[in-house]
Structures are given as structure tokens and as C-alpha cells.
Structure 1
């Protein structure tokens, strides 16, 4: 085994801007739910940010509002306070035109409150109370007033009228809290459902595109890496829409709402705190610049790990037979170690740039705001804001860093998802084959190759191949490994197209026919037939609605499969695991024959169809072959020459050339390469002289095929 690190994963990188635009186009496929999520998010943010304003009102109007002027009133009523022999009411609770008595004050001194039975022009300043005298020290001097200390019961009387207002504010807070919770549910549900829909669409597009990729693409990219693109990379993109998009959308809306609230409270302090925004943008830019380098390697190594695991599982028997466990483990460990090394680099980067930087920004912002507030107040440039407004401002400013933390914590997932999205779009950008809807009438199956030359890369592996195969004829392709047999079949299926010459079916060039239409009337039976997970019947029909269950049963009976499969507990509904590993080679082969017969192809290809069959089963297979070949143009690739004695035409290939052609008797009479091969297989090869030259007259020599991919 060799390490998978040498496999090319991509041809060109998709630019970040292009990746972002294409992700946005996919997001727009679920724009309705995305818009609903953003609306719910905005409402939720507004409801959540209402709580500091409620707290401000509660503090300024009710808790600290007790220090507003009170006036004596004649009668008790709503909002009045009974103290000693009089009744008092706050100034803002008098109705228009209602008579007011003497002004009084309730002021806090230390941890207690005092009652002052007269008007106080200035209540701000340092207060002290001693021996029935309230002293207030202000910038203009010191003033004193006679006062009485209030007991807890007396103080509660002044607070009692505030309780209804406080209760209303509490209920309002609970209402906004309920709205916030409901909107959070709606936002999460709509964002995740729309993300799931987008990823479903992306995976469908990716899988559909894989079906259109040419066969040679899979020669260069291992199956494990393709699987990694469809599963791991799309899952990372899913996290982009669910976690990253959710956090960033929430963060942007939340930060916008917070700054609106800050400007409502105090425009000057809010403007000072705006310095946080450019720092966040710079932070994200620098982080992604470094993280992209690490994530590119991480996603690539994860893909390579999948590839080597897939290869190891597929070849586990070979690994154990040749005792390559240690080498395979070492290769895996090398990839795994490199993967872990770059994961640790990302871990270090995240550790340095997550909560630590958020805390630095938080402390810096509070320091700048407090410094500016203190400086402007001392210099007399601004009046002191109320205690409630200051509390609300600090509360909202503190909330600013919750969405920032959420956004920063998702930076690693954001960059990983963008790298994965780029890899997905690289695969989607691979040129695919056009898919044509509909079909074409079943053609006769007259095949002609005329001066066909073909190269997989640089060297031609088929050279000037010419032959004809008529409907109902069987054409056998024989030759040593690498002679070009399988390449002829690849051209016939249009897995590849020739560089020179023409291939026609019923006189029409295959280049003028859609590939799907050509393959619609072709069938193939491989040496090691591939069975899918399901049942025997489903492996015959392959889920094609045109093939009824009756046709499936008939096809199985016609190839004689009912005789071999009769002992299975489920009969034709017997479960089949991946690759049909629980069935014998003969059983799998008969199912493959029945599949080909059920689809009724005009052209049938048999690729070493009897190579792995025991002698007893082979007679049954030969009977099935005779059923299959009736009325069809059949191409047989065979190494066991005894199985093609009845072929109408045998083409002997050598290094991409047709060196001999004819039926079995003609080729045996000629005594050339075919004769030698046949004698060797019959056990008489010790005295055979190798054939090295071109065929003698009567047999056309045709240049053909060579190279590693030829057979």
C-alpha cells in the first residue's frame, strides 16, 4: 500500500469572495424562513434590551423618585402618604388644578432616611444628619435644615404608593421576557430548519453532480475523499448556517440594538464606546487570515484520513495476508499526527483570541467610558446623568460583550466552514457530462469502429482499430493484460471518446447521441458483479419502475437462477448486504445475468463473466449466456478461450493492435497468436514457439492499445 497523501484533491481553489456569494445564493433558496428568523431575532433583541430601560424607570421614578418634592394635601386618597398629623403627595401625582400645600422632602442620608418639613432648593451634595439637623455640603457652600429620622414603618408609608408602579413594571418586564423567549425559539427553529433545507439542497446538488462527473475523474480522486466532500465538508457548511450564521446574525442585530439603546440613553458616552466596532472587525480579519491556513490543512488531512480508512477496509484481506498491518498503521498515524498538529495550532490560536481578548475589550471599554464620564463631569462640560440612566448604560454596555463572545467563539467554525465550502464548490466546478432527459428507441445494435485511436494521457493505447459487429453476432476480444480489450468497451460506453476515428451504432456516430441514450440500451456483466444493499429482486430491477416484479422473476428463471437461489430462506426477496458478500460467486453472477436480461439491452458486454465460476455452475451460466445473447450484439472479454469457441468473430489484440481476426476454427487453422494462447490453456504450451511478428496475409493487423489503463 502507498500513502494517500499523494492524491490530488482539487485543481483550483475557489476564491473566498466567490465562496461567500455562492453560499449566499444557496441561503436565498430558504430566504422566507431566514427572513422570519431575522424578524424574530430583532423582536427578541428589542424585548431583551427593554429590561434595562424598565430598570432605569424603576430606579429613577420609584426607588430614587422618593426624593422628589412632596406637598401637603388636605385629604387622604390614592397616592397620598399619612405622616404624623398630615397627608402628603409627590408633586408629579397631583391632578391639574389640584391645590398644593407646603413643600416637604424625604432624603436618604447614609443607610437611613430623614423627613424635612420645608422646601430645599438643592438636594445634591454630601449629606449628614446629627441631633435633628440635616447638613448638605454643595459646591456653593453648606446648608442646614431641621429634620426627623424616619423609622422603617414610616419610610414604608412613603414607598407604599410606589408599589403599584413597580408591580406594573415587573409585569411589563415579565411580558418582554416571555416575548424574548418565544422569539428565541422562533429564531432558533427557523434558522436551523432553513439551514437544514439549504444543506439538503447542497448535498443533493453535490451528489447529482458526482453522477455527472466523467469516469476519469474518479481515477484521480479516491472514493474516501469524495465521500469526505459529501459528508464531512457539507456537515461543516451546515454548522456555518446553524451555529455560525445564528451567532453572527444574532451578534450583529444585538450589537446594533445595543448601540441604538446606548445613543438613546446618552449620545456622548455611546459615541465614545463605538471604538469597540473597528477593533472587532480588525480582530476577525487577522484571525481568519491565520486560521484559514490551518483549516485548509485540517480539512485536507481529514479527507485523506477518510480515503486511507476506506482503502484499508476495502483491502483488509490483502493487508492481513501480506502482513502489512504495521505499514498501514504507520501511514495512518502519520496523517493523524499531522491532523492533530494543525488542530493544536488552531487550539492555541483560539485560546489566545477568545475570552482573553473579549475581557480586554470589556475592561478597556468600561475604562474609557468611565474616564470620559468623569472628565466631562469634573470639567463641567456635561451634567451628571441620573443613577437609573447610569445603571442602564453600564448594564447595556456589559451586554455588548455577550454577542461579541458568541461571535468570537464561532470564528473557528466560520473559517473551517468557509474552507469546507470552498472544497465543496471545487467539486461542483469540476466539468461534468450533460444529462439529457428522456430516451431513444431501442436501436438494432450494429456497431462499427473505423480507424479508432485513443490515449488516456499521452501515449496511444488503441491505434487504428477497425471492425464491425452486427445485431445478433458475438464478438470476442482476447489478448494479454494491457492489450486494449477493456479500452474498446470504455469507448463503446462513451466513458471516454477517441482522439481519432469514428464509432457508429446503426450507422450513426456515437458523438451525435447523448451518452445516457446510448447506455440506455446497453448491458454489462462483470467478472466480479457488484450487488447493492437490498434484496435479490431489487438488485435485478435496480429500482427501475419500468421493470415489474413479474419481469424480475421471469428474468431470474430464464437464466436458471431459481435453481441455485431456491434454497435461500427469502427466495428472490432474500436480503443482500453490501457487494453481496453473503452469496457465492455463482449466485452473484446469475443475479447479474438476470439484471442484464431484465433491462433487455441491444448491446451486451460480458467482461470475464465466467472467470470466477466453478465447473458445475459454469454449465448453468453457459445456458444463461445463450439466453442472454439471443438477438443482441454481444461483446465478450475472455481469458478462458474455451468459453468463446462459438463466437462469430474473435479479435486478437496485442499492444493495442488487432493482430488476428476470425472465428475459432479459422484462427486455430492459422496457427498464430490465438492458436498459441489456446494451446497454452489446454496444457500443451511446453513446445509452443512464441509468436513475435505481424500476422501473415489473410489476417489484418490493427494498431491498438497500450499503457497501464489499457486492459
Structure 2
């Protein structure tokens, strides 16, 4: 069964216990809410009893002063009920919003700590559904869930008790339609539960489809697939519409049926009661009270089916949220090592790595980069070059072997400290919809504007940024769409450099830029590499000829290494790559 289609048990004690942990910071308000709901349930039978007493005693005796007093008392009860209802609605909504705020923050903190492997296997739309739709569903648990159900059940018990205490015969007649109401409520509950599952699945499909296709809109338009994708979206959107209409239909049928059943109960009471009034066995006030009792009794029953489904959906959403919060697919940050400085010596010792724990993409990789040296990795696409730098920054963890920085296993470093000391510039640059300054500093208050400007000048992009409207406050829009590929690459270069890392990693950093921009980057690299360790992955062999060591990777293994001249003289894999690129240039 699809995860989006699962139904949960209403009273799943383990999940409810976990859910209460989120309530605990607000437990005084939560208990106040329960008290208010209980008070509302106790007040419900009071008005019919007052009306019965007024009709049978006050009006019958012609005591007009007492009639005025009773009217004032009933108005007072209505005012109290209104205040209680307001308090119930506001407090339950307040509690729900504060709790889902805390859950959403905790959930997002968890998501940003998950391994990249998790995102490789999980659609982004599903995570959006968890963070937004599921959390919103969870809010309904507090506004219409457990406490409200408890209040409804208490109201039913109180009303039944008062009805039998008042007149057991009229009570029995009033409740004679209950089996029919319970049956229709059960059928409605099951139908609407299926409908809710379908709606939830349709929402998840819509989220995934829209997110993926907006992100990949350039591909859609490049290949002229607008009509095809529009048709796909129409189908998914129709499924969403049909699921919602089914839900609307069930509601449209159930509530009139419930009203008819309640009306039948009222008719039976009036029919039987009228005969008893004529024979003086029952008072007119009692019949009037029972008509009101029936309305008060059947309203919670009508609401219970909806509330149970709301609670059930909330339990399912909570279960999915908790599974994400409990996920162990996160990078452990148990290391405490934070030395004053990092020299930049990198060692891979017999490293094996697989993304799926079965198919190794790196096999027995061993090399050493001394402090201040530059090492370059070359090889065919899919050879494993990018995997090496992903492992160095602990975006993924190795299966076997060890990776050390300055002779210390990378797992012993505090994760944030390790990554701040490894500046990474990727081929596929991602910029947030924000200012250039915030895209460079990523909101790190430790980075002053002066330091940022200094790094930008060093890279050679300060003048270009100053020419933009607003300069460093210029909003680059989502994914940096208002900038060229080369400009985005240069900004990402500044973003890496402003952290003053001891290790520089360039993953195809110049493959997507023009010759002029590449020259700017190369000039910046020559300045920035001094005193730092550099790890470079490049397809253009002309950019790495001055590297201290060039490592050729093929099918996850190191096949040869050495400097440019040595590798050419060996007439091996590197020499073949060099000749192929030379032919392309010629």
C-alpha cells in the first residue's frame, strides 16, 4: 500500500504518547482546554431543563416576576455558553498553531540534517507534503480531535442520563432511532475515510508533480513538451477533483440523512408525548425539553463521525511525521575535534564506498595530499571523481577504510567545523531567491561585509556586483535566474572563499563558463591556492597541468597518478585522454 494511503488506528497509544510530548510545553493551556470542553458539555442539558421548569412551573402558576427571573437566568446561561464556546474555539486553535509551529521547526531541522542519500531516494514533493499538508492535518487533532471527542461523548452521556431521569419512557422513544443513526454514521465514517485517503494521495501527487516540473521547466520547454505535461497535470488534477467531489457527496448525503433520523425521533416523541399530555401523564414542558434534548443528542453523534476521521487522519499524519523525525538517515555529528587551525593534509586509506551498500562506486582508493599541494582527479563520467569529494566533506559516509584530515579521522571532527574548512565550488550552482550578500554569507553573522567584499575583489567579481541594481543587495531570484551561468559560478566561488577554508574543492568549476570567465577564475585560483590544499576535478586537462599530482580514476579505481609530464611519458590512460582532447581542440 502506498504510504499516502495508509489508515491509522484512532487510539494508537504509542503515537498519542509521542504527540503529547509536543503538547507538554503548553500543558496548562491543554488542561484548561479540556476543562472548558467538559464545562461546555455540562452546560448543554441546562437550557432544556430551565425551559421545562419555566413552562411547567412558572408559566403554569402565572408567576410573572419569577418568569422574568427565569428569562434572565436563561440569558445568563446562553452568555456563559457563548463565552465557553469562544474560549474553546480560540484556545484549541491557539494550541494547535503553536504546536504545529514547534513540530514544523523540529521537522525542518531534521530535514536539513539528513544525508544526501536520503534525498536521493525520497521525492522532494513528499517532503513538502510532510512539512506542510501533514502538519496542517495534525493541527486539526487539537481543534477537532481527542479533546472535542471526549467533550462530545461526555455530552451524550449527560444528556442520556438527564433524559432517563426526566422520563424514561420518552427517553426510550427518543433513543429508538439510535441504531439507524449509528449504522449510517458507521457507513459514512468508512466511506469518508476512504475518500480522505484518496484526497491525501492526490495532494501528494500534485505536490510532487508541480515541484518536479517547475524545477525542470527548462527541460519541458527545451523539448517542447508543454502540451504533454499539461495533459499529465490535467489527469492528476482530475483525480484530485474526483476524490474531493466524492468526499463532498458523502457529506451531502450523510447530514440530510442524519437530520431525517433526528426528525423521526422528534416526531415519535411529539406523537407519544401528545397522547400522554392529554392523559396528564406528561407535561408540555417535558415534551419541549425532550425535543431540545434530541437536537443536543444527535448533533454530537453527527459530529463524531467527522471528528473520528479527523483524528484518524491526524494519527496517520503524526505517524509519518514521527517516522521522518526518527529517521536514522542523518550524518552523525558525534565528533568534538575543533583545532585552532587545519593545515590541510588529506589522506584516503583503502576507501570503499557504495551508494546502495551493494554496488561499489569507489574501490580501494588510497592517496595522500600534503599541506598546500594541489591534486587533480580526471576520468570518464561516472568514474567516481565526485564521490571522492562528497566523502571528504562527509556528505556520504564510507563503507570501508579511513579518511583523515591532518592525521585525524574525519568522523572525529565536529561536522560544521569540518565543512567550514572545506570550500566547495560545484559545477551546478544553486543560488537562493535572496540578495547576493545572503547567497554569499548564507546568513552567517560572523562574516562581515568587509570580508565579503575582500573575497569578491580577490575573485575579481566586485566590480560586476557593484554594477548590479543595489549591488550586494541585488535579489538574484530563484536559482539565480537573473544571472548568467558564469556570474553564478563566480558568486559561488566567493561563497566558498569567504569562509577562508584550508582546503579548496573545485568540482568541474570551470566547465560551464566561457573562456574569459574561466581566465578570471584561474587568476583567482592562483592567488587563493597559495598556502591551501586544493582538490580539483576537471574535464579540461589544460586547467590542471600545474597540479602537484594528477590521479586518473576509472570505474571506481585509481589506475595511475603522477604529474602532467610523467603521465604523458607513460603513454597510459591520461595520455589517451590528453590526445583525445587535443584532437577535439584541433
- TM-score, normalised via structure 1 length: 0.74
Deviates more, 1:236-245 or 1:596-605: 236-245
2:287 and 2:53 map into 1 onto residues whose CA distance is 12
What is residue 354 of structure 2 aligned with on the other side?
455
1:141-160 CA distance string (max 9 Å, x none)? xxxxxxxxxxxxxxxxxxxx
**Is 1:480 matched up with 2:377?**
no
Deviation at 1:421, TM superposition (A): 3.2
User: 1:436–1:516: 8 Å Cα contact kept in structure 2?
Assistant: no
1:454 and 1:13 map into 2 onto residues whose CA distance is 38
What is residue 338 of structure 2 aligned with on the other side?
440
Deviation at 1:328, TM superposition (A): 1.9
The structure showing larger relative contact order (alpha-carbon pairs under 8 Å, at least 6 residues apart) is 2
Task: Give the count of matched residue pairs.
Answer: 581
What is residue 193 of structure 1 aligned with on the other side?
94
Summarize the Cα distance change of 1:349–1:355 in structure 2 as closer, same or farther, 3 Å threshold: same
User: 2:125–2:211: 8 Å Cα contact kept in structure 1?
Assistant: yes
Deviates more, 1:565-574 or 1:235-244: 235-244
User: 1:453–1:462: 8 Å Cα contact kept in structure 2?
Assistant: yes
User: 2:8–2:316: 8 Å Cα contact kept in structure 1?
Assistant: no
Summarize the Cα distance change of 1:211–1:608 in structure 2 as closer, same or farther, 3 Å threshold: same
Deviation at 1:597, TM superposition (A): 1.6
Question: Aligned with 1:532: secondary structure?
Answer: coil
User: 1:224–1:303: 8 Å Cα contact kept in structure 2?
Assistant: yes
1:12 and 1:604 map into 2 onto residues whose CA distance is 47
Deviation at 1:245, TM superposition (A): 5.5
User: 2:276–2:282: 8 Å Cα contact kept in structure 1?
Assistant: no
Deviation at 1:307, TM superposition (A): 1.1
Which runs of structure 2 are paired with 1:82-161 in the superposition (5 Å)? none
**Is 1:212 matched up with 2:131?**
no
**Is 1:300 matched up with 2:198?**
no
What is residue 586 of structure 1 aligned with on the other side?
486
Deviation at 1:377, TM superposition (A): 9.9
Give the aligned CA root-mean-square deviation in angstroms: 3.2
Unaligned runs of 5+ in 1: 1-5, 67-161, 687-711
1:284 and 1:212 map into 2 onto residues whose CA distance is 44
Deviates more, 1:281-290 or 1:530-539: 281-290
Summarize the Cα distance change of 1:548–1:174 in structure 2 as closer, same or farther, 3 Å threshold: same
Deviates more, 1:622-631 or 1:196-205: 622-631
Which runs of structure 2 are paired with 1:698-709 in the superposition (5 Å)? none
Question: Aligned with 1:575: secondary structure?
Answer: coil
User: 1:262–1:397: 8 Å Cα contact kept in structure 2?
Assistant: no
What is residue 31 of structure 1 aligned with on the other side?
27
What is residue 120 of structure 1 aligned with on the other side?
none
Deviates more, 1:211-220 or 1:426-435: 426-435
The partner residue of 1:61 within 57, 60, 65 is 57
1:330-350 CA distance string (max 9 Å, x none)? 332333343344444434443
Summarize the Cα distance change of 1:44–1:293 in structure 2 as closer, same or farther, 3 Å threshold: closer
What is residue 116 of structure 1 aligned with on the other side?
none
Summarize the Cα distance change of 1:26–1:436 in structure 2 as closer, same or farther, 3 Å threshold: same
Summarize the Cα distance change of 1:279–1:499 in structure 2 as closer, same or farther, 3 Å threshold: farther
User: 2:41–2:152: 8 Å Cα contact kept in structure 1?
Assistant: no
What is residue 157 of structure 1 aligned with on the other side?
none
Deviation at 1:424, TM superposition (A): 2.5
What is residue 407 of structure 1 aligned with on the other side?
304
Deviation at 1:48, TM superposition (A): 5.0
Question: Aligned with 2:542: secondary structure?
Answer: helix
2:93 and 2:147 map into 1 onto residues whose CA distance is 8
Deviates more, 1:198-207 or 1:239-248: 239-248
Deviation at 1:288, TM superposition (A): 4.4
1:242-299 CA distance string (max 9 Å, x none)? 3455753553343344334434533564467567778777766655445444433432
What is residue 525 of structure 1 aligned with on the other side?
425
What is residue 77 of structure 1 aligned with on the other side?
none
Summarize the Cα distance change of 1:286–1:509 in structure 2 as closer, same or farther, 3 Å threshold: farther
**Is 1:233 matched up with 2:134?**
yes
Larger radius of gyration: 1
Deviation at 1:652, TM superposition (A): 0.9
Summarize the Cα distance change of 1:438–1:52 in structure 2 as closer, same or farther, 3 Å threshold: farther
What is residue 425 of structure 1 aligned with on the other side?
322
Deviation at 1:627, TM superposition (A): 3.1
User: 1:474–1:647: 8 Å Cα contact kept in structure 2?
Assistant: yes
Deviation at 1:407, TM superposition (A): 3.2
Deviation at 1:664, TM superposition (A): 1.6
Summarize the Cα distance change of 1:193–1:222 in structure 2 as closer, same or farther, 3 Å threshold: same
